[in-house]
Structure 1
Amino acid sequence: YDDAEVLFTQAIEKRRSIEREDDELVLVIIGWIAHTYMGSGRLDKAEELQKETLGQWKRLKGADHSGTLLAAVYLAGIYSRQGRLSEAEILEVDVLEQRRRLLGENDPDTLVAESNLGNTYPGQSRYKEAEKLAAHVLEQRMKTLGRDHPDTILAVESVAQTYALQGRLEDSECLLLENLEVQSRIMGKDHPNTIKSMELLAFTYRSQGRLEKAEELRSEALRLLETRLDKDHPDTIMAAANLAAIYTLQSRLNEAKEMRVKILAPRQKILGEEHPDTISSMQTLGLIYMQQQEWGEALCCSTPLVKVTMKKYG
């Protein structure tokens, strides 16, 4: 990500030396830089840059231009990573409406917009709405692209996730096992999408009470992410948190505590004190301390947690 940022910045400087500030290519490259910030976990910088880019696209080309809509998609993605799902949803609904109006119901870009919105709904516990969107996207992907296309694989994953969240665990497991085999064969075992499928299958196993299988998958996912990404990257931290949750269910509290302690500081630094994942980390670590009767440490977790929760929710 750092190398990409340097290259994009050099490209902007070169382009600006020969074109205007509102040159479309400059805006595209700035959007790419914001995307690299998001990928490397620098969400505040990504948001700042992407909001500026979206405003420039609207001023330059209007609200329904493809560049404006893509900038809105990227900003919605940043909001989602920050846990600001309502703000992400507003942008995604608008993009989807524009895509349907301009391109039609089954255009590839419309399906991407549907998929993005469908991926936001589960975080809001709107599982039926998510399933409806995911099922339509999958139907169209299968029809036009075939089972082994990467976009179809992602669509299967989205449907499987909605099944798992609604308690349809066997249906979810069936889809995810097939998907994982296809992904490993086509994309490779260490591809981010393959790792995501491993995590989803582990979630299904956990929900079924099959903790050893869940642990095996989550341990492998964490190992792959630590090799591929920085240990403080949000995706790596999330994988560690997921594995710690399995340890807790297995009553392996010392291992869970050690992992929870390691991920709390990076979450506070990268995501901020008020991010839902940071709040969850403080809460879970505090509960482990209480289970082990480490009351002083539990108080150290609960005091800032109460302050953050009162500030955020009143």
Structure 2
Amino acid sequence: MSALTARTRMPGTDAFQTLATAGLLAAALLAAGDLNQSIALYKETLARLSRALGADDPDVLELRAELAGAYQSAGVTSRAYRELEAVCSRAVRSLGEQHPRTLPLRARLAGAYLAAERWDLAVETYVDTLTACRAVWGDASPDTLAVRSGLALAYEAVGRHEEAVAELEQAVDGFDTVLGAAHPATVRARSDLATRYWSAGMTEQAIEQYGTALSSGSERLGDTHPEIMAVRGRLGRVWLADGSAAAAVPILERCLSDRDAVSGHDHPDTLAVAETLVAAYDLQRAPDKAGPLHERLARTYVAARRYERAVEAFGEAARALEEQGHVTEAVTLLQDALNTLAPTPGMHSRELHPLRNQLDRLRHPGTGGGDGP
């Protein structure tokens, strides 16, 4: 039975369009950061599609690769690359090593090796895949350029910095010519190049490339496009690392506002921007801005069960209030923090000593608070 016939004969809840929609929903859940539900839906959809079409069907292999991507996003990197090894093995056997649907799967496997810190395997797989892509599609193909960008990241990981920069410069030039400066792939590659420049100590060049990526991409893609938000966050971190909190703060504030609107407070990307912004506020000695953000982070850490970080953030929020002369508010915040954290399973009393000591010092000025037993 042909693949097309198999798809048209799939009944009811196993109909091909139904399962395709389920795959899209799983991808949307992944993008929203709901990793557990995304993985569960991918697995359920994959099982049903495999039963109907067979394990070697290209659409089944693609869906299995997407499941591997969800594992990778969840930090289960070894599971991700093992899934992709199996996918690529089946694709090579059923489609051929240089089939147009096999090559992107091989590129994903290289990326999974990179995420799992299997550096040498990542480089080897990217090099082999790039050679095949150039033979099949040519140097100017966006797919070839994407593999070249991945190879650059792998080179960077193994310390081959000059080769990494050279590959990315070629990729940026290629994407710019083929897709235009505002295309997401071009923006991503230019941002990666800027990051490599920064790693090499070329701060001015890095800032220039980030700025170009923002100016060329934001008008077409919009400020809340994932690539634009990523570039803006990176640019803010570079300014902060360069000691220019004044330049970093407005960029990071804009980025955090966009992340909040798109992903919510508790998304990992939002959290990363908030952490960078609060560091910039602290560097500026701006307790009126740092305090509320420290408290927000503390409550986000509690929800994520990152209790050690929550203790630190509550303490910083209280210190910010104290610096502004709001001692009563600081005491109230510390009491609330202790009431929130003390009943938490797995939270040991000694881990709360910093907050208790801080509270005692505010209640009894001049005593120093002590370190506690």
TM superposition score category, shorter chain reference: 0.7 to 0.9
Q: Distance in 2 between matches of 1:132 and 1:110?
A: 17
Letter in 2 for 1:70: E
Q: Distance in 2 between matches of 1:121 and 1:268?
A: 31
The correspondence for 1:109, drawn from 101, 112, 117, is: 101
Letter in 1 for 2:194: A
Q: Distance in 2 between matches of 1:264 and 1:51?
A: 33
Task: Answer yes or no: is 1:277 the counterpart of 2:269.
Answer: yes
1:54 equivalent in structure 2: 46
Q: Distance in 1 between matches of 2:74 and 2:264?
A: 9
CA change 1:43–1:220 in 2 (3 A) is same
Task: Answer yes or no: is 1:153 the counterpart of 2:145.
Answer: yes
Superposed, 1:81-100 pairs within 5 Å as: 85=77, 88-100=80-92
Task: For CA contacts below 8 A with separation 6 or more, give which structure has more relative contact order.
Answer: 1
How many equivalent residue pairs?
Answer: 297
Letter in 2 for 1:135: V
Contact 1:180 1:194 in 2 (8 A): yes
Deviation for aligned residue 1:211 = 1.3
Task: Answer yes or no: is 1:300 the counterpart of 2:295.
Answer: yes
Contact 1:261 1:285 in 2 (8 A): yes
Contact 1:82 1:271 in 2 (8 A): no
* Alpha-carbon RMSD: 3.5
Q: Distance in 2 between matches of 1:262 and 1:79?
A: 30
Q: Distance in 2 between matches of 1:120 and 1:248?
A: 30
CA change 1:130–1:90 in 2 (3 A) is same
Deviation for aligned residue 1:242 = 0.9
What whole-Å deviation, never above 9, does each CA across 1:113-132 have from its counterpart, x for those lacking one?
Answer: 22112223333333222111
Contact 1:85 1:123 in 2 (8 A): yes
Q: TM-score, normalised by structure 2?
A: 0.67
The correspondence for 2:251, drawn from 247, 254, 259, is: 259
Structure 1 unmatched ranges of 5 or more: 1-14
Decide which structure has the larger Cα Rg and report it: 2
Task: Answer yes or no: is 1:200 the counterpart of 2:192.
Answer: yes
> Relative to structure 2, which stretch is displaced further, 93-102 or 151-160?
93-102
Deviation for aligned residue 1:269 = 6.2
1:5 equivalent in structure 2: none
Q: TM-score, normalised by structure 1?
A: 0.78
Deviation for aligned residue 1:147 = 1.7
Secondary structure, counterpart of 1:214 in structure 2: helix
Structure 2 unmatched ranges of 5 or more: 1-6, 310-345, 347-373
Contact 1:271 1:278 in 2 (8 A): yes
Task: Answer yes or no: is 1:122 the counterpart of 2:118.
Answer: no
Q: Distance in 2 between matches of 1:177 and 1:68?
A: 35
Task: Answer yes or no: is 1:165 the counterpart of 2:160.
Answer: no
Letter in 2 for 1:216: E
Deviation for aligned residue 1:267 = 3.8
Letter in 2 for 1:303: A
Secondary structure, counterpart of 2:14 in structure 1: coil
CA change 1:189–1:302 in 2 (3 A) is closer
> Relative to structure 2, which stretch is displaced further, 176-185 or 88-97?
88-97
Letter in 2 for 1:176: L
Q: Distance in 1 between matches of 2:21 and 2:300?
A: 39
CA change 1:251–1:197 in 2 (3 A) is same
What whole-Å deviation, never above 9, does each CA across 1:248-283 have from its counterpart, x for those lacking one?
Answer: 133221331233233335545655666543442233
The correspondence for 2:306, drawn from 291, 301, 310, is: 310
